[in-house]
Amino acid sequence: MKKKLFITGIGGFVGHYLLEEGLKNNFEVFGLDRVGSESLGKSVFCGDILDQKFLSNIISSVSPDFIIHLAGQSSIQKSYDDPELTFKINVEGTRNLLSSCKNISVKKILLISSAAVYGSPQYIPIDESHPISAESPYALSRIEQEKLVSEFSNLPIIILRAFNHTGPRQPISFALPSFAYQISRIKQRLSPPVISVGNTSVVRDFSDVRDIVRGYIMALASNKTNEVYNIGSGHGYTISEILQKLIKIADVDVSLSQDPSLVRPLEAPSFVCDYQKFHKDTGWEPKYSIDQTLRDMYDFFSTPKTYS
């Protein structure tokens, strides 16, 4: 009999990839999506994670063997615009989910947190013992989310602190797909040869979303619980280097224009993952190079579509 996997936030960018990875690994996949989508099938429930009664009924009816909690407010910028809503979704939503699991025999729950909990790095690469520091409402919400584990110590939980991940189909509200989209339009002569950017000197660790979801499934297969892991590529690139790679892929001449609204306050100059603990316990390591990820992302934007 297939094991049941329940994914919150299944309708999002990462959720779509995780659905595909779950099916590929012979899970019977169920999910929760706030908006709902017929393309995801009848095993996906439409509703709000903040509705405790609804969530409890769904979890009870599915009785999943495994849960991956993706649902959340994941934008640092939006957390400044509405810190209260960010806290509600990321903290109260997680509490609702964990409360709903008290009366089922779940084998493992993955709480997907964020490397943002580390704040400005005191050393590079960042491992799991690095001090925690909230430098945005978003980071604070993730720290408080992680603290909930102590309230549900009877549940088999793993926290995964994900570093930046990207890939085809990511919304253009995020930096790398925005660059790829702008460059593809320039290549098609649909836009002037100017790209809006923020701070291009910062160093970031970008993983391919397909590597990340493979890691999530591998975490379910491990014999570990009650652990905290980093997951990321282990390589850092400046935003400028990323842009130059995309420009080279498209083979276009462009100029850069800094948009002050894209420059974040308290932006750490460098942010790179140490994933050795996760590698040791699961065998996971990245397979996609940054060049392949950028190529696939650019190709995705090469034909006219509607993006959000």
Mean pLDDT of the chain: 93
Distance CA 237, CA 206 (A): 8
Residues 153-171 have a mean pLDDT of 96
Distances (CA, A) of 206 to 113, 183, 308: 16, 19, 21
Residues 285-290 have a mean pLDDT of 97
- pLDDT tens sequence across 234-246: 999 999 999 999 9
pLDDT value at position 46? 92
Q: Say which CATH topology domain 4-167+207-234+274-287 has.
A: Rossmann fold (3.40.50)
- pLDDT tens sequence across 86-113: 999 999 999 999 999 988 999 999 999 9
Distance CA 42, CA 65 (A): 19
Q: Residue 182: pLDDT above 70?
A: yes
Q: State both tokens at 88.
A: 């509600």
Percent of the chain with pLDDT over 70: 95
Q: Residue 74: pLDDT above 80?
A: yes
- pLDDT tens sequence across 21-62: 999 999 999 999 987 655 566 689 999 999 999 999 999 999
- In the chain, DSSP assigns E strands to 4-8, 28-33, 44-46, 66-69, 108-114, 157-162, 165-166, 194-197, 203-204, 207-208, 227-231, 237-238, 255-258, 270-271
Find the radius of gyration of the CA atoms of the chain: 19
Q: Which of 2-16, 129-143, 259-273 has the lowest mean pLDDT?
A: 259-273
Q: Where in the chain is CATH 3.40.50.720?
A: 4-167+207-234+274-287
Q: Say which CATH topology domain 175-202+236-272+293-300 has.
A: UDP-galactose 4-epimerase; domain 1 (3.90.25)
Distance CA 293, CA 177 (A): 11
Q: Where in the chain is CATH 3.90.25.10?
A: 175-202+236-272+293-300
